[in-house]
Structure 1
Amino acid sequence: MTNIGKPLIKSAAAVGFLAASMSLATGFSPGVAHADLMNWEAVAQCESGGNWSANTGNGAYGGLQFKQATWEDYGGVGNPANASKQQQIAVANRVLAGQGPAAWPKCATAGGLPPVPVVMPKEMRPLQQAVTQIIGIFMPSQ
């Protein structure tokens, strides 16, 4: 193993342990376990009438109505309305992992998840961003 590999593995393990510990301590779950349960077709139907190319001028784009900043923060490239359905779902899974179902407050229930009012304490947001970046290393955008 290279000299860089060992610290990276140790850092990733430490962040994972810290995130799990804080999750248990606070009851916060970012939503990773929900990704395989979400019916993105139903969410898109609720958000945009099922139009994966939606660009209505409301500041949200694509079938899942991404804000441009959220799209880019979670690895999306270009405008979500121009991305394929598969690309939108890949980014949506990362958003769901980072923000939980609260990212789609009105339509997550249409996707099959119970309403989960997750409010991330300000102190934990840097940790959430770090974990999301680490996930992005292992799950690069397409």
Structure 2
Amino acid sequence: MTKHLPKKNGLALLLIVLVLGTLSMGTLSALALNGLNGFLDANDLRTALAVRAKVMGCLDEALIHLQKDNAYAPASVVSSNATCTLAVTTPVSGQRQIIASLVDQGFTRSVHATATLSPFAVTKVTEP
């Protein structure tokens, strides 16, 4: 007597469908993650540029006050949309160095500026 084994005609097709489905789901997941990371990077860039603009605004405000008053040296300055920390020093007589810094939404930016007092002129602005 011979034994008859059940036919497995659909097993190969089922395995192929499972493998292709798994690969396509993995590919779609990777593409979705890549798109999400791109969106988050763009948002971080926008926030970093906004913080830079705010700290530059604080520096402008400090320079305006320094031009009017040579002894101007507060611990902070308030601009239209930010409150920045200031450090005003006198490296050389007749010169002021201003360091304006701001921490906003996890981003820290600072700007260093050097100005002569008489005649008033900003001689150097750097972003470390």
Q: What TM-score comes out, normalization by structure 2 length?
A: 0.27
Name the one with the larger helix percent.
1
Larger Rg: 2
Name the one with the larger strand percent.
2
- RCO higher in 1 or 2 (8 Å CA, sep ≥ 6)? 1
